[in-house]
Structure 1
Amino acid sequence: MKVIKTIGISLLVVITLICVYGYINMRDRHPGYRTDLIIENRKPGVMRAGFAAVSITPEYMEPWNDTDNNARYEPEKGDTYEDLNGNGKFDTHWIAGFGNKVAARGVHDDLWARTMVLDDGTTRLALVAMDVIGMFHPMVIDIRKMVPEEAGITYLVIASTHTHEGPDLLGLWGESPFRSGVNKEWKEYVKRQVVQSVLKAVEAMRPAYFRFSQNLTEGRVTIKDTREPYVFDEGLRMMQVTDAETSETLGTLIQWGNHPETLWSRNLLISSDFPHYLREVVEKGVYHGDNIIRKGVGGIALYVNGAVGGLMTTHASMEVVDPFRDTVYVEPSFDKIRAQGDTLGLIILRTMEEKAVEIREAGINLRAKTFDLPLRNRLFRLAAAIGIMDADMTGWMKKRTEAAVWSIGPASFITFPGELYPEIVNGGVVALPGRDFPVDPQEAPPLRDMMQGTFRFGIGLANDEIGYIIPKSQWDVKKPYVYRDRPYYGEQNSLGPETAPLLYEELRQLLKELPGKPY
């Protein structure tokens, strides 16, 4: 009996410790934090704008030997590393997006926190475009609290480009599925660098004019939709900001919907993928050797992603035609992303030159709100409980997140905290026989139909990364499957089937409440 009693007490202690550990990991890291903004500008005028680019590139990683050349660090198969600092452990950065054990071997191009600050005299809006796979909402709140009050930021948006060739910042792609891939020192460094980027953009503010342009037909080049129904967010949308006194470009915001993963799964060099070359082209121009083909506009270019669910990708089997070298790239390579950047850059620069609408006076109308979403995904729950994911729970399996809408002159913007399926923003949600839920499309009409103005930007992975946001009538995890004989990838990486209709309703309401009238 004494032995049984001892075993029982020991089990109770273990269970208690596990529960406490899970509670600590899933606790609300920012109790009471809520955003609820409604701001209207009734007196348009000459606004001010500032841009900055601050590197977030990791500076230290140890070389390693990939014995079987499978792009995975597997010491059990003979892979070894050089312990350069003599601390007895492998100091690396785990590349996010293509499974576990992908250890970086070096850096191909810098990762950036690129910031645009806009000020109409009443509201100071900051948008940071980050070269990371994504970041959870608690990290966004941490950064907001780090920005000094004297910076005067009314609202800060941090949007991830979603590069699959940068270090893990979510925790899901570490050495094993049960070990976080986040380098904690680098994570803190990223926070500090984002703050510096915001402060530098504030310091650089100048009176500014805006030149809006868009190309809604040519952007499908180099995109493949890997899930039916085939719907894209292929529109290229640009906001060029120029100095009101010198006419020089301060910066350019570019929005397009595609996964930055053209380098694919065997790349071991840290990179922002195609956004690197795309931004270079917009800033510095398109070159063929030493010959310039088209001049860039200067300034600092920001790339923000759109609705990439579905998923939108330049698949490893997809051709990218080099616009100058009479070469077609299929295998993933840096030449392939250079050709992709050149191709897109040429379209963007031509569109900006030929189809821009200039606005000299404008104001910011803004609506932003915090809300909760249910966390139904069991794997996500486990990851949160064991500390791999920063859950930021506000209640039992309720995750805090955020969305915003704003307008500037003839342009309106929506932000969504993950990988939205394009049919939710552009239309085309279906409800076919065999679907898991016998419901009609819940996410209709499409969000862009409810937006103001001519230029309608949709910014994804903004202020959070909640995974795929799938129309409920297209949720498909039960047999018989609608389109093929096995489940799709999206549902495995989604909070759950209620995410899309709940987020859609929040955005619909925000658009309805957005101050101002259609331009």
Structure 2
Amino acid sequence: MNKYLFSIILIFSLCTCGPSTINESIELKVGVSKAVINPPLGSFIAGDKQNRKFTGVLDSLYVKAAVFFDGKESFALITLDCIGLLYQDLLKIREKVAEMDLGIPLSANNIVLISTHTHSGPDVVGLWGEDYSQSGVDKDYMDFLVKTTAEQIQLAASKLEKSSVKYGITEFGHEWVANICEEEIDRSVTVLQFLDKKNQNILTLTNFSCHPTYLDAVYDKVSADYVAGFYRQMESELGGEHLFLQGAIGGWIQPIDKGISYEEVLDRGKGLANVAVSALRKGRSLQSTSLKFRNKKVNLPVENDVWKQLAAVGIIPRTISDVVETEVAWFAIGEATFATHPGETAPIYGLNTKSKMPEGPKFVLGLAQDALGYIVKPEYFEDLSLPHAQYLTRMSLGKSTGHMLMLNLEELAINQ
């Protein structure tokens, strides 16, 4: 073989080598932005009893936007400190983003929105007005929330910078978090960290499951609950920005030491941050940073007539008939896999979702894309003597919701 032919073969082989070289050529860029979204004083408080109004602020609520772009695929991940934004509001955010120049080819459909579920935020659903004859939603505030969220996506897209990614996995909350239905619980803490070229933190994503309800019905002041303590400690330890990704908290994952002081509530969040940081320090780098994203619209059956009635009288401002339209998503950052649940899913559905994911960091995002109440096991509808069954089923679409959710997520997983 002559030298010229050998050179051609060598060049060709280098250009067509295996997946590891392809992964190395992918340049993941990340941008992040946030804004305060405190409601006006006097707004109705979501959670617990109706007709409660804010009189002050303990700590600020935020919308946080992270945009990811690998040169080909892109998506945005949004967190909001609220009880649960509904699907129609996500669609409104997408409409605004679709009109914006983001500087990258980011489809407005590739937006994932997660609510932290604080019970010390504004009524964004409609259920907590003076009574069930009127909504507790402030339309002007909702317009502000939609506009501000879209703007943060645009700002995050303008701040893209090259990043490397590491992850950590641990557990937390054994002393103060329980499934009060005395069933399965997922105590995992999964965290991704995005580092700039100087190895400084740009962003972390932390997935953990527990209702932020320490302050529920205790204070009439705005707060992200223990999540506020998490934010503060993460910023103190790592700098940069931090998104709290709520997990599967239905059926019924709660703090069991309620009645503690506000400072102790913040300490609970600080403890979560400390274990996340510790996991990262012992963590590993992702081998790939390529992005994948799939989502689909889903029509879930509505077996609970209360949902239909609330929609019919305008308390919940959306179309609800024998079915309700919502959405699920399945996406990945390298080996890290994410799936969304459109409500408060029982831990069994979170664990089942993770079982469909490949090896690597696994994220189940509760109250993502929608807030359709509790999604619980079918037996809770069959035996109302089970712990909290009467309340949980009253706040659910119906017996088949969990099964339908899993079927649709499995379809996305197979086609990924």
Compute the TM-score of the two structures, normalised by the length of structure 2.
0.90
1:503 partner amino acid: L
Whole-Å Cα distance in 1 between the matches of residues 186 and 148 of structure 2? Answer: 30
Whole-Å Cα distance in 2 between the matches of residues 409 and 487 of structure 1? Answer: 39
Q: CA deviation at 1:220?
A: 3.2
Distance 1:267 1:48, change over 3 A: same
Q: Does 1:254 align with 2:192?
A: no
- 1:135 aligns with 85
Q: CA deviation at 1:313?
A: 0.9
| 1:27-62, Cα deviation, whole Å (9 max, x unpaired) | xxxxxxxxxxxxxxx95312100111111112x32x
Off by >6 Å, runs of 4+ in structure 1: none
- 1:339 aligns with 267
- 1:276 aligns with 228
- 2:339 aligns with 414
- 2:290 aligns with 363
Whole-Å Cα distance in 1 between the matches of residues 310 and 411 of structure 2? Answer: 32
| 1:441-483, Cα deviation, whole Å (9 max, x unpaired) | xxxxx221110232110001111011111122343455xx2x3
- 1:447 aligns with 353
- 2:180 aligns with 226
1:253 partner amino acid: L
Q: Aligned match of 1:379 in 288, 306, 313?
A: 306
| 1:47-102, Cα deviation, whole Å (9 max, x unpaired) | 100111111112x32xxxxxxxxxxxxxxxxxxxxxxxxxxxxxx21110112011
Q: CA deviation at 1:200?
A: 1.2
1:59-74 correspondence to structure 2 within 5 Å: 60-61=40-41
Q: Aligned match of 1:500 in 399, 402, 405?
A: 402
Whole-Å Cα distance in 2 between the matches of residues 392 and 283 of structure 1? Answer: 41
Q: Gapped runs of 5+ residues in structure 1? A: 1-41, 62-91, 285-295, 319-329, 427-445, 515-519
Whole-Å Cα distance in 2 between the matches of residues 476 and 97 of structure 1? Answer: 27
Work out whether residues 48 and 205 of structure 1, in 8 Å CA contact, stay in contact via their aligned partners in 2. Answer: yes
Q: CA deviation at 1:159?
A: 0.6
Q: CA deviation at 1:487?
A: 4.0
Whole-Å Cα distance in 1 between the matches of residues 31 and 248 of structure 2? Answer: 26
1:235 partner amino acid: S
Alignment length, in residue pairs? 389
Q: Secondary structure at the match of 1:309?
A: coil
User: Could you tell which deviates more after superposition, 343-352 or 302-311?
Assistant: 343-352
Q: Aligned match of 1:304 in 245, 252, 260?
A: 245
Work out whether residues 81 and 117 of structure 2, in 8 Å CA contact, stay in contact via their aligned partners in 1. Answer: yes
Higher helix share: 2
Whole-Å Cα distance in 1 between the matches of residues 162 and 404 of structure 2? Answer: 39
Whole-Å Cα distance in 1 between the matches of residues 383 and 48 of structure 2? Answer: 22
- 2:35 aligns with 54
Q: Does 1:96 align with 2:54?
A: no
| 1:428-447, Cα deviation, whole Å (9 max, x unpaired) | xxxxxxxxxxxxxxxxxx22
Q: Secondary structure at the match of 1:98?
A: coil
Q: CA deviation at 1:364?
A: 0.9
Work out whether residues 44 and 136 of structure 2, in 8 Å CA contact, stay in contact via their aligned partners in 1. Answer: yes
Whole-Å Cα distance in 2 between the matches of residues 336 and 102 of structure 1? Answer: 24
Whole-Å Cα distance in 2 between the matches of residues 490 and 476 of structure 1? Answer: 12
Q: Secondary structure at the match of 1:488?
A: helix
Q: CA deviation at 1:108?
A: 1.1
Whole-Å Cα distance in 1 between the matches of residues 389 and 356 of structure 2? Answer: 32
2:206 partner amino acid: I
Whole-Å Cα distance in 2 between the matches of residues 264 and 389 of structure 1? Answer: 22
1:340 partner amino acid: R
1:7-406 correspondence to structure 2 within 5 Å: 43-44=22-23, 45-58=26-39, 60-61=40-41, 92-147=42-97, 148-151=99-102, 152-154=105-107, 155-215=110-170, 217-228=171-182, 230-243=183-196, 245-284=197-236, 296-315=237-256, 318=257, 331-354=259-282, 356-359=283-286, 361-393=288-320, 396-406=321-331
Q: CA deviation at 1:184?
A: 0.9
User: Could you tell which deviates more after superposition, 487-496 or 198-207?
Assistant: 487-496
Work out whether residues 83 and 118 of structure 2, in 8 Å CA contact, stay in contact via their aligned partners in 1. Answer: yes
Q: Does 1:488 align with 2:390?
A: yes
Work out whether residues 338 and 362 of structure 2, in 8 Å CA contact, stay in contact via their aligned partners in 1. Answer: yes
Work out whether residues 173 and 180 of structure 1, in 8 Å CA contact, stay in contact via their aligned partners in 2. Answer: yes
| 1:98-129, Cα deviation, whole Å (9 max, x unpaired) | 12011111111111111111101111110000
Distance 1:46 1:359, change over 3 A: farther
1:448-463 correspondence to structure 2 within 5 Å: 448-463=354-369
Work out whether residues 263 and 332 of structure 1, in 8 Å CA contact, stay in contact via their aligned partners in 2. Answer: no
Q: Secondary structure at the match of 1:195?
A: helix
Whole-Å Cα distance in 1 between the matches of residues 289 and 277 of structure 2? Answer: 24
Work out whether residues 51 and 115 of structure 1, in 8 Å CA contact, stay in contact via their aligned partners in 2. Answer: yes
1:473 partner amino acid: E
Work out whether residues 353 and 364 of structure 2, in 8 Å CA contact, stay in contact via their aligned partners in 1. Answer: no
- 1:73 aligns with none
What is the aligned-residue RMSD (CA, Å)?
A: 1.7
Q: CA deviation at 1:353?
A: 0.9
Work out whether residues 67 and 157 of structure 2, in 8 Å CA contact, stay in contact via their aligned partners in 1. Answer: yes
Whole-Å Cα distance in 1 between the matches of residues 322 and 52 of structure 2? Answer: 31
| 1:295-348, Cα deviation, whole Å (9 max, x unpaired) | x11110000100000111113xx1xxxxxxxxxxx5243112112012212211
Work out whether residues 84 and 125 of structure 2, in 8 Å CA contact, stay in contact via their aligned partners in 1. Answer: yes
